[in-house]
Amino acid sequence: MKKKYKEIISFRIYYFLLLLLGFYILPGCKSKNSKREYTIGFSQCVGSDQWRKTMLEEMKRELSFHPELKLIYTNAENSSATQVQQVRSMLRNKIDLLIISPNEARPLTPIVEEAFSQGIPVIVIDRKTSSSLYTAYVGADNFEIGKIAGAYLVNKLDEKGSILEVMGLSGSSPTIERQRGFYHALKNYPNIRIVKQVYGNWLINEAENEVNKIGVSSKQIDAVFAHNDQMALGSYRALKRHNPTNKIKIIGVDALPDNGLKYVANNIIDASMLYPTGGKEAIRTAFSILNKEHFDKENILKTVVIDSSNVQLMKMQSDKISSQYRDIGRQQGRLKEQEKIFNNQQILLNVLVISLVLAIVFAGVAFYSLNENWKSNKRLESKNQEIQQQQNQLLEMSAETKRASEAKFNFFTNISHEFRTPLTLILVPLEELVADTKLPLTVKQHLRLINKNVIRLLRMVNQLIDFRKIEYDKMKIRASENDLIAFTTEILDSFKDIASKRNIDMRLNSTEKKPMVWFDVNMFDKVLFNLLSNAFKFTNDNGRILITIQKDEEKKEIEIKVEDNGVGMTEESVLHAFELFYQGESYQSKGSGLGLSLSKEIIQLHKGVIDVSSKKWKGTSFCIRLPLGDAHLQEEEKLARTPEININYDNIKLYTSDLDQDPSKEDQALAFENIKEQSLLIIEDNSDMLDFLKQKLANEYEIFTASTGNGGLHEAFERVPDLIISDVVLPGQSGTDLARVLKNDVRTSHIPIILLTARGSSEQQLEGIKTLADAYITKPFNLQHLTETIKNLLDNRNLLKSHYTSEYQGEGKIPVSKKLDKKFLNDFAGIVESNLGNENFNVDVISKSIGISRVQLYRKVKALLECNITDYILNRRLQKAKYLLMNEDLSISEITYQVGFSSATYFSTVFKSKYNCTPSEFKRKKDTS
């Protein structure tokens, strides 16, 4: 919560700083964009002469005050056609305003009108078009200029004289207007005449040529009016050539400081009419038009005559103006520089401010991250400490466990040592007793059982001690080089008897004749004994055990394989097969969980490996691989002398005795075969336990046995015993599965079942009871408790009988097996009732209609009704006869027929034996009463 709050605050700080940055940067951007930019197209008819250059300079100077105005400039070089094209291209390029000085009026009029009609403002400067469709005009009054020039010459020539007029371009408006103004000034002075007119097209050279051509002399003309100063200079040069001394008055137009003014000052020409370019005024007017400010359409510029009387003054003025312009230029240059510096500083400032803001933001982020980092480091540190503590605790606990298990193991080993002597002392006299032929058979059987189990105990004790020696005392092997085949054969010999008794096909296959292998004979024999003993334990009679020995030259190993086709192991058991004390399922439950662990330890001491592969119900295969040669052994692990192979008798006894079946088993079975009132089926895979129970219960009950779940099921259906005792853990179907099947089958549902197992957990008991087993007894059990339970369950059948035959059906749930039994009895009674009149009716008819065998039917009826079927049928016939005699008016022979007796005499005999009177006597008694 606190963390989230902090995050929100820091996010707000960043947001605020960014806003600040925005506020700082945005106004700058805004001020730059506030003035709209415009493009002015300026089409000049000619650009090379000084007057036009001055015009352009003036424009540029004025534009420098308006940076938002951009100028596109074209120069048509005295060509009207070129100028039209240039203007058209400007219009295409979307200019905002057009300034034009048309070369000639007529050719340029249409394009100017077109621009004007498109809505583009047009400023006509100096020269005009033939139309009034323009936005503004800037320029001096050329008619006025012509007029002033005329008046000046009238005065200078004392109203008498001849004049040569050198005119500009014929189609351009100043030519036309200046000429008209000049005429107008002279028309009232008849003694002044224009004797010659030539077109100089505004150019020096052309004027000089034209004047040259006419070859005038001072006698013929007194004065020249040239329409500009350039042509005045050209005329001067031509006239000078022809009349070097004569003084002809020459006047021009424009009065530019470096041209006209200079010519006047140097007496080249006599006067010049000031003709301002209007560049500055044109830009000012354009600015007003574009910014929608007030402007005048006609902007007529002033003119004045400059001659020797005022030329100096004018020159001074113009010099001053020029120097002021230069100052302005310089100021502007500086301004630009300042602006540049300002811009650079502005950029620098922006960068600085942005950097500062970013630095603050990053510092904030860095501080926040640092803080978080510090906190998470703190958290990690405390977590680390916690883990370290836990680790230490675990280490302590594991050391403690190790100590405890070592102590436990030590205890077991010590106890084992203690056990070994008494067990051996028990064993010796016991063997003598077993060998005593005088003892009764039952005593002998008990002694054999004791003997087997003492040996089993001794074997476990020995294995425990061996294991301890290897594991904790780091016992070393004492290996010698031996013939492995001879060694194995000798061990196999110990199992020969058992193999032949149980018809097990035991074979040794080898690719080698005499493979010499280094091993400790006193240890390795235990491994082989253990593997073979296991193979025999879990292989059924008539099975197969195969021992294979083969060399792997490449790996320099020898492989000893012990394979059987016995009950096999589950995948889970295979995984744990070599674990100490592992007893996962029935396979291991026959052993102590020590033998295979010990074998593995012994093989590892030999630097070999042992592994197992197995498939449930298919068989098991153990494979040992031992290295060949003695390179893998240390010197102290090798015996100097090879001992003679002498298989330890004790080992033979320890590993083979409990595989041996009781030799008197068959006789014993016969001895018990007396027909008994009630029968029991015992299902148990431990043959000793089976024999024990059989022996203890055979006196009272007929005993059937089975050693697997499936065998038990088969026997139950086949024999229909009065009670079943079954182990829970069985090869094949478990005892609980078996109980479930039997209780759900009409043929066996009535049979009480006792489940017997070594597992005593309450869940397992509950599971057993859920299967409808009638009792659950855990091993080790008290025999008396078992026999009492058997008795009780069998006695209870009488109670059951009354339950089944009573008409009352309880409201509570009846277990499935009892429901089945009730249905069976209903069916059975129904069949009997409907067949009472059938004299051929017998057990076969019932067994066929119910669908179970005669024996099953017989046993079931016996169990549920405690009578045999024939008696039951006879009884029902007699009861019906009694009823008919009492309630129906029928003759004896009719009743005889209706209750299924073949003859009246037989009916009478049977009736009498039951009711102590003949049917006729019974009828009579009833009639009289």
**Smallest gap from residue 75 Cβ to ligand FRU (A):** 11
Q: Which two tokens stand for residue 357?
A: 């803001």
Distance CA 530, CA 491 (A): 11
Residues paired with residue 136 on neighbouring β-strands, in sequence order: 123
**Cis amide linkage into residue 780, ω under 30° from 0:** yes
Residues paired with residue 727 on neighbouring β-strands, in sequence order: 756
**Smallest gap from residue 236 Cβ to ligand FRU (A):** 15
Which of 202, 295, 518, 922 touches ligand FRU by CB under 6 A? 202
**C-alpha angle 233/239/245, rounded to 5°?**
115
**Smallest gap from residue 182 Cβ to ligand FRU (A):** 14
Distance CA 533, CA 459 (A): 12
> In this complex, which beta carbon is closest to ligand FRU, that of residue 274 or of residue 517?
274
> In this complex, which beta carbon is closest to ligand FRU, that of residue 77 or of residue 400?
77
Q: Interaction with ligand FRU in 568-597: which residues (CB under 6 A)? A: none
- What lies within 8 Å, CB to CB, of 602 at 6+ separation is 470, 477, 520, 523, 524, 526, 527
- What lies within 8 Å, CB to CB, of 844 at 6+ separation is 854
**Smallest gap from residue 154 Cβ to ligand FRU (A):** 22
**Smallest gap from residue 46 Cβ to ligand FRU (A):** 6
- DSSP states along 850-866: HTS-HHHHHHHHHHHHS
> In this complex, which beta carbon is closest to ligand FRU, that of residue 146 or of residue 168?
168
The region of 45-53, 104-112, 515-523, 642-650 touching ligand FRU under the rule CB under 6 A is 45-53
Which of 58, 62, 165, 254 touches ligand FRU by CB under 6 A? 254
**Smallest gap from residue 318 Cβ to ligand FRU (A):** 16
> In this complex, which beta carbon is closest to ligand FRU, that of residue 201 or of residue 651?
201
Q: How far is CA 529 from CA 71, 356, 565, 596, 750, in A?
A: 117, 89, 18, 11, 47
**Smallest gap from residue 273 Cβ to ligand FRU (A):** 9
Q: Does 619 bind ligand FRU (CB under 6 A)?
A: no
Distance CA 929, CA 922 (A): 11
The region of 46-54, 180-188, 435-443, 758-766 touching ligand FRU under the rule CB under 6 A is 46-54
Which of 44, 49, 104, 529 touches ligand FRU by CB under 6 A? 49
Amino acid letter, 204: I
**Smallest gap from residue 269 Cβ to ligand FRU (A):** 13
CB atoms within 10 A of CB 204: 20
Q: Interaction with ligand FRU in 115-174: which residues (CB under 6 A)? A: 126-127, 168, 172, 174
Amino acid letter, 621: S
Give the residue closest to ligand FRU by C-beta.
228
Distance CA 730, CA 724 (A): 14
Closest CA to 585 of 759, 761, 781: 759
Q: Tokens 């001072």 — which residue? A: 218
**Smallest gap from residue 180 Cβ to ligand FRU (A):** 14
CB atoms within 10 A of CB 28: 13
- What lies within 8 Å, CB to CB, of 167 at 6+ separation is 175, 178, 179, 197, 198, 199, 200, 227
> In this complex, which beta carbon is closest to ligand FRU, that of residue 49 or of residue 62?
49
- DSSP states along 591-648: S-S-HHHHHHHHHHHTT-EEEEEEETTTEEEEEEEEESSSTTS-GGGB-SSPPPP---
> In this complex, which beta carbon is closest to ligand FRU, that of residue 210 or of residue 466?
210
> In this complex, which beta carbon is closest to ligand FRU, that of residue 52 or of residue 249?
52
**Smallest gap from residue 184 Cβ to ligand FRU (A):** 19
Q: Which two tokens stand for residue 882?
A: 């009694």
> In this complex, which beta carbon is closest to ligand FRU, that of residue 55 or of residue 881?
55
Amino acid letter, 493: D
> In this complex, which beta carbon is closest to ligand FRU, that of residue 149 or of residue 531?
149
Residues paired with residue 73 on neighbouring β-strands, in sequence order: 42
Which of 21, 38, 42, 52 touches ligand FRU by CB under 6 A? 52
Count of residues touching ligand FRU (by CB under 6 A): 15
Q: Does 519 bind ligand FRU (CB under 6 A)?
A: no
Q: Does 563 bind ligand FRU (CB under 6 A)?
A: no
The region of 14-22, 49-57, 341-349, 477-485 touching ligand FRU under the rule CB under 6 A is 49-57
> In this complex, which beta carbon is closest to ligand FRU, that of residue 170 or of residue 500?
170
- How far is C-alpha 105 from the geometric centre of its chain's CA atoms? 84
**Smallest gap from residue 334 Cβ to ligand FRU (A):** 33
**Smallest gap from residue 89 Cβ to ligand FRU (A):** 22
Closest CA to 828 of 866, 860, 800, 871: 860
Q: Which two tokens stand for residue 220?
A: 């013929």
Q: Interaction with ligand FRU in 208-247: which residues (CB under 6 A)? A: 228, 230
First-last CA distance in the chain: 104
Which of 225, 275, 622, 922 touches ligand FRU by CB under 6 A? 275
Q: Which two tokens stand for residue 320?
A: 């001053």
Q: How far is CA 350 from CA 14, 15, 336, 347, 627, in A?
A: 19, 19, 20, 5, 85
Distance CA 516, CA 485 (A): 9
- DSSP states along 570-587: -HHHHHHTTSTT---SHH
Q: Which two tokens stand for residue 234?
A: 């050209």
**Smallest gap from residue 226 Cβ to ligand FRU (A):** 9
> In this complex, which beta carbon is closest to ligand FRU, that of residue 145 or of residue 186?
145
308 close to 260: Cβ distance less than 8 angstroms: no
Distance CA 328, CA 119 (A): 35
> In this complex, which beta carbon is closest to ligand FRU, that of residue 129 or of residue 599?
129
**Smallest gap from residue 61 Cβ to ligand FRU (A):** 19
> In this complex, which beta carbon is closest to ligand FRU, that of residue 56 or of residue 831?
56
Q: Tokens 């179970």 — which residue? A: 852
> In this complex, which beta carbon is closest to ligand FRU, that of residue 127 or of residue 882?
127
Closest CA to 756 of 777, 733, 729: 777
The region of 47-55, 347-355, 813-821, 909-917 touching ligand FRU under the rule CB under 6 A is 47-55
> In this complex, which beta carbon is closest to ligand FRU, that of residue 177 or of residue 525?
177
> In this complex, which beta carbon is closest to ligand FRU, that of residue 202 or of residue 655?
202
**Smallest gap from residue 257 Cβ to ligand FRU (A):** 14
229 close to 50: Cβ distance less than 8 angstroms: no
3-state helix, strand, coil in the chain (%, to 5): 55, 15, 30
Q: Does 253 bind ligand FRU (CB under 6 A)?
A: yes
**Smallest gap from residue 266 Cβ to ligand FRU (A):** 18
> In this complex, which beta carbon is closest to ligand FRU, that of residue 238 or of residue 256?
256
**Smallest gap from residue 127 Cβ to ligand FRU (A):** 5
Q: What is the DSSP letter of 479?
A: B
> In this complex, which beta carbon is closest to ligand FRU, that of residue 203 or of residue 532?
203
Closest CA to 167 of 183, 153, 181, 178: 178
Closest CA to 510 of 440, 465, 466, 561: 561
Which of 46, 124, 185, 255 touches ligand FRU by CB under 6 A? 46
The region of 44-52, 102-110, 338-346, 556-564 touching ligand FRU under the rule CB under 6 A is 44-52
Q: How far is CA 921 from CA 115, 175, 299, 881, 889, in A?
A: 155, 180, 169, 13, 15
- Residues in the site for ligand FRU, rule: CB under 6 A? 46, 49, 51-52, 126-127, 168, 172, 174, 202, 228, 230, 253-254, 275
